[in-house]
Structure 1
Amino acid sequence: MSLRDHATRVAVLRVLRDVVEAEYRATRREVLDGLRAARAELGLKSIRATLPDGTPIAIITLIDPQPTVVIADEHAFLTWVAENHPDEVETLTQVRPHWQREFFARLAGLDAVTDPHTGEVIPGLATLPASEPRSFSLRPVPGGTEQVARAWHTGEIDLRRLLALGGETR
């Protein structure tokens, strides 16, 4: 292959990559919206992806974010930390960021923000509810990648229809 051939190939592959990436992002958004709706309506969290002949190729699952611990009252939290964990308060009178991150991580998933050792409600903290899922995982099933490659090579998957190049509709 000549340099000109390689240059043409890289230019074509770049265009195809960009088209595939744009289509992937749009389709990923459609799947996420669909999974969110299916969860709200049916309690569904996962869906199996299959080839046209029914061969399973992947499992797509909503990823549920965890509730986030936030400081609702900086002064009340600082006062509590100073009284209960004085070594974790810096002289400039703030909770050490590293300790706060670790402490919040230990509190994650609790209904009420309480000291894990004493059970005391920690003043100045609140728990925000988890947000809507913003992503999902896609795990190919064993052999799924090979099945996609086989289906592509045999023509079972029509990339022209799948990608809708040139603004064509599916």
Structure 2
Amino acid sequence: MSLKEHATRVAVLRVLRDAVDAEYQTERREVLEGLRAARAELNLKSVRVALPDDTPVATLTLVDPKPTVVVTDEEAFTAWVAENHPGEVETLVRVRPSWQRQFLARLTCLEPVADPYTGEAIPGLCVLSASEPRSFSLRPLPGGRERIARALHIGTLDLRRLLPLEGGEDP
């Protein structure tokens, strides 16, 4: 293949890549909204993806953020840690960040947030509710990628319908 042919392929592939990236982002947003709606209406978290001939190729699943414990009153929390875990307070009177991360990770996400050893409510902490899912995972089934490639190759999937390019004319 000549340099000119390689250069043409690069230009064409770049246009296709940009178009695919734009369509992919648009479709991801649509799928995420659809999955959120299905969760709200049907308590559905996953959906199986199939080719037009019903051959399964992947699974889409909402990724649920987990609720987390956060410090809402640094001063109250620091005072509590100084009293209950004095070795974990630095001389500048703050909780060591590494210990704080580990400690918060061990706490249950129930109000009031309590010391796991004494059951005492810990001042300065509250539970932050989990947000709406912001993403989903796509896991191809075994052989799914190959089935998609084969469907594209034999024409069962029409790339022109999946990826309409701006500026083209319909035949």
Alignment TM class, shorter chain as reference: over 0.9
Whichever residue aligns with residue 162 of structure 2, its letter is L
* Partners of 1:142 and 1:98 in 2: CA distance: 40
2:32 is equivalent to residue 32 of structure 1: yes
**Residue matched to 2:65:** 65
* Partners of 1:8 and 1:103 in 2: CA distance: 57
| Matched residue SS, 2:20 | helix
Whichever residue aligns with residue 128 of structure 1, its letter is L
| Matched residue SS, 1:53 | coil
The CA deviation at 1:167 is: 6.8
1:94-153 per-residue CA deviation (whole Å, 9 max, x = no partner) reads: 11111111112222x522321122222111000111000000011011111111011011
| Matched residue SS, 2:166 | helix
2:109 is equivalent to residue 128 of structure 1: no
Q: Retained in 1: the 8 A contact 2:114–2:120? A: yes
* Partners of 1:25 and 1:12 in 2: CA distance: 20
Give the ranges of 4+ consecutive aligned residues of structure 1 lying more than 3 Å apart after TM superposition: none
**Equivalent runs, 1:82-121 vs 2, <5 Å:** 82-107=82-107, 109-112=108-111, 113-121=113-121
**Aligned length in residues:** 167
Whichever residue aligns with residue 53 of structure 1, its letter is D
Whichever residue aligns with residue 23 of structure 1, its letter is E
**Residue matched to 1:41:** 41
User: Any unmatched runs of 5+ in structure 1?
Assistant: none
When normalised by structure 1's length, the TM-score is: 0.94
TM-align CA RMSD = 1.3
Whichever residue aligns with residue 82 of structure 2, its letter is A
